[in-house]
Structure 1
Amino acid sequence: MKRTSASRSEQETAILKAAAEEVALVGIGRAGMDVIARQAGVSRSTLYRRFPSREALIAELGRQTLEFAFERLQTVSIDDGPQEASVAAFREGVRLLASDPVMRRFLQLDPDFTATADMVDEARQFLVHASKAMAKAMRAAGARMPDADLLAVCELHIRMATSLVQVRTGVLDVDDDDAVARYARMHLAPLVR
């Protein structure tokens, strides 16, 4: 292995990029630290200096993946009222869940998923934070229902998006943005008041 003069930050970035590629390719349970180190261009010892365990690396990758998802969901417009904002959030969530392979792995949307306690906790935290973020956006868009009810409806939107992407049927083509919007407008938006 060649020594690299990359900074600590550059090494961590390279390691996380390699980990994302490996997780997307083979899944979380089969992602190998040796492969990740090689792909990142760092030695195994450097990888373990930056991330003391495989679980620490996977947890950080999960944190960054979920942070990216929150950033994407924050781009949803709230100008057309709470029901249209819920449609836009649902459509963006389905788009993200259907297209991001690392997100799919972390939220257990792939059949070969092998969870660790940290990953299950990350998925739980994602659901809680995403529900709160969506509820905040719906409130800003004009939703007037009680907080607990709004939070429950937002969690239902997120769980529904996850389920529809995970187990595909003829009911909805999750790859068709217009169909996803129609579905949300008909079945989910009326729940937001």
Structure 2
Amino acid sequence: MRRLRNTDSRTEQESAILKAAAEEVALVGVGRLSMDVVARQAGVSRSTLYRRFPSRDALITELGRQTFDFAMARLQTVAIDDGPQAAAVAAFREGVRLLSGEPVMRRFLQLDGEFTATTGMVDEARLFLVSAATAMAKALRAAGATMADDELLAVAEVHIRLAASLVQVSTPVLDVTDDDAVADYARTHLAPMVR
């Protein structure tokens, strides 16, 4: 049994709780997240857990916010120096990497087939989609895209939705675990959408 973190600071306790929640979500999914397991794995009492996160939904919503913030930070690392089409390829490749390699992200975006969501989680997923599309559109604009703002945002959203779909449902058309194949696919089919 892990020691209780009664002497840790509020920040340390919250960090331990969120880490334990992420591990639990990655293992069993959002719908089966157990507050008792999270408390035990974080080394805090149930009362401490509920002081930090007053409900299961509050914990899931905060975990979702942190997960999506992490994803946005990764998407913002896309290089824009080689033009908008190259930036579109890089963003798509990074999005596929993120969606296929981050188990908590997969669970939040329902990419593992589980369809159990809290209101906060659905709101966070919607916010992620809008934020990711907006960030990608800004990156493409910074890379030199000249198309109208609404068209650029629509293209960015198509890229993100397609990445999620390809990661969720396997297809013989593209092996999402092959980074070069993902880049070639984006270069051939998606980059031409950006002008």
The match for 1:95 is 97
Task: Name the TM-score, length of structure 2 as normaliser.
Answer: 0.97
Please state how far the C-alpha of 1:2 moved relative to its aligned partner: 4.1
Please state how far the C-alpha of 1:112 moved relative to its aligned partner: 2.2
Find the aligned partners of 2:82 and 2:60 in 1 and give their Cα distance. Answer: 38
* 1:151–1:39 CA distance, 2 compared to 1 (3 A): same
The match for 1:135 is 137
In the alignment, structure 1 residue 52 sits paired with structure 2 residue 51: no
Please identify runs of 4+ aligned residues in structure 1 that moved more than 3 A. none
The match for 2:43 is 41
* 1:143–1:34 CA distance, 2 compared to 1 (3 A): same
The match for 2:31 is 29
Aligned pair count reads 193
Please state how far the C-alpha of 1:175 moved relative to its aligned partner: 0.4
The match for 2:159 is 157
| Alignment deviations for residues 119-156 of structure 1 (CA, whole Å, 9 cap, x no partner) | 11111111100000000000000000000000000000
Give identity over the alignment, percent.
Answer: 76
Please state how far the C-alpha of 1:4 moved relative to its aligned partner: 2.2
Find the aligned partners of 2:122 and 2:140 in 1 and give their Cα distance. Answer: 27
Do the aligned residues in 2 keep the contact of 1:143 with 1:192 (CA within 8 Å)? Answer: yes
Find the aligned partners of 1:2 and 1:140 in 2 and give their Cα distance. Answer: 49
* 1:3–1:116 CA distance, 2 compared to 1 (3 A): closer
Counterpart residue type for residue 69 of structure 1: A
The match for 2:111 is 109
Unmatched tracts of structure 2, length 5 or more: none
Please state how far the C-alpha of 1:118 moved relative to its aligned partner: 1.4
The match for 1:121 is 123
* 1:148–1:3 CA distance, 2 compared to 1 (3 A): closer
* 1:34–1:190 CA distance, 2 compared to 1 (3 A): same
The match for 2:172 is 170
Find the aligned partners of 2:119 and 2:6 in 1 and give their Cα distance. Answer: 34
The match for 2:64 is 62
